[in-house]
Chains A and B, each alone.
Chain A
């Protein structure tokens, strides 16, 4: 199975900060990577797919980049509503696998 490793596990930042989360794959997944946001007690929401394509309705402060084995999710200006845990997921092949999550806290 392809292992997905996110860093950091926890991130604390202030409103207005630029925030970056990294996801690394144990082997090349081309650009078949998705990012999800999960708020406490809620279902995950798709933010980005194909590494850099913003899903419909997602604010433009979110962006994704990367290819092969290293990817990043960036929030250009952190908002209070962004308090959540963020997961990456590879869909290069089955079984699809997720990173362990990055919990984003607002200072």
Chain B
């Protein structure tokens, strides 16, 4: 069964750091580009970051550039999101997603995890 399971969320204070993990199963993880997408409570979806198969290419949304770092460990079928200098506006459910089909410039996503909640609050 193809599945993505996120973990690592929890309440944090503004300015703090947190690392999220997403473990993949049911498919050959090392063959797929992976992404993080977040959803603020009651709001829509916002793409956050993506990482290539070999981790040599990474893309970030402007809202997190310089604060968040995406990485992966193909031996563990896991993708990570290191989040530093967290802000109240980073409060969201963070989903990892597998890159599905693309335009040659950008992707859509064919498998998503249920997400992990990160509330940033003082």
Interface residues of A (CB under 8 A from B): 30, 32, 34, 41-46, 49-50, 55, 87, 89-101
Contact = CB atoms under 8 A, between A and B. Distances in A.
A74 to B, nearest CB: 19
B112 A87 contact: no
B10 to A, nearest CB: 18
A91 B59 contact: no
Contact of B47 (A30, A96, A99): A96
B60 to A, nearest CB: 9
Contact of A94 (B59, B100, B110): B59
Contact of A101 (B44, B101, B106): B44
Interface of B: 4, 43-47, 59, 61-62, 95, 100-103, 105-110, 112-115
A17 B104 CA distance: 37
B95 A34 contact: no
Interface SS, A side: loop
Contact of B105 (A42, A45, A94, A98): A94
B79 to A, nearest CB: 15
Given A89-B45, A99-B44, A46 B100 contact: yes
B44 A30 contact: no
A99 B45 CA distance: 8
B106 A98 contact: no
A85 to B, nearest CB: 9
Contacts of A98: 44-47
B106 A91 contact: yes
